[in-house]
Amino acid sequence: SAVISQKPSRDICQRGTSLTIQCQVDSQVTMMFWYRQQPGQSLTLIATANQGSEATYESGFVIDKFPISRPNLTFSTLTVSNMSPEDSSIYLCSVDLGTQYNEQFFGPGTRLTVL
Amino acid sequence: AQRVTQPEKLLSVFKGAPVELKCNYSYSGSPELFWYVQYSRQRLQLLLRHISRESIKGFTADLNKGETSFHLKKPFAQEEDSAMYYCALRAAGNKLTFGGGTRVLVKP
């Protein structure tokens, strides 16, 4: 398994501002992912964070709104830009360790509330 | 596109009773399926993977390709099994598609 931490654990922000969420892993991993979990909803994949290249975004998510950085194999950031109350969610990062089972391990999540 | 459906949002059972969480999927490729669990105030964690055919915490899940199902079962539910359960399918690019989740409440 992997030890995954996220900062901040929670935040309350004003609309129109931006928040950057950090994800740190205790080992080098090739694949990192960012998910969103809106209140009462399931997890939805935002993007795959690729080291050394641009992130790959899922349908409905764009780089201008959710810019992602992946400077090395243990770290990634997700920025939620120009926030609105609809962005209030839990944001989670996950990693794929590349084992034979291809399972993903998840961080504790960042609970974001936009007023 | 792949899809995962968990028809029950809430399952309430008494301690010691059997519990079955339904999961159906649609995917054109060869599916890899997982069950994740989230206990209160804890992070999402892997419970089962279909490929290893294991039993974890008394839970089992069998992949039925004919019925495109991956139901999770436990013969005797315990209070500590109360949690949110998510069925997930791994598609190309190692992306996970999650079902809507089922909340299990085990009553004493």
The full 3-state SS of A30-92, as one line of letters, equals CEEEEEEECCCCCEEEEEEECCCCCCEECCCCCCCCCCEEEEECCEEEEEECCCCHHHCEEEE
Q: Does B11 touch chain A (CB under 8 A)?
A: no
Mean pLDDT of the B11-18 span: 97
CB contact under 8 A, B100 and A107: no
| Interface check B51 vs A, CB under 8 A | yes
Within 8 A of B95 by CB-CB distance, chain A residues are: 33, 45, 48, 58
The yes-or-no verdict on residue B95 having pLDDT over 70 is: yes
Contact residues on chain A for B52, CB-CB shorter than 8 A: 101
Task: Report the sign of the C-alpha dihedral through residues B56, B26, B32, B64, in that order.
Answer: positive
Does B8 reach chain A within 8 Å, measured CB to CB?
A: no
Mean pLDDT of B66-91: 95
CA distance B67 to B71: 10
Residue-wise pLDDT tens for chain A (115 aa)? Answer: 789 999 999 999 999 999 999 999 999 988 899 999 998 889 999 999 988 888 999 999 999 999 999 999 999 999 999 999 999 999 999 998 776 666 789 999 999 999 9
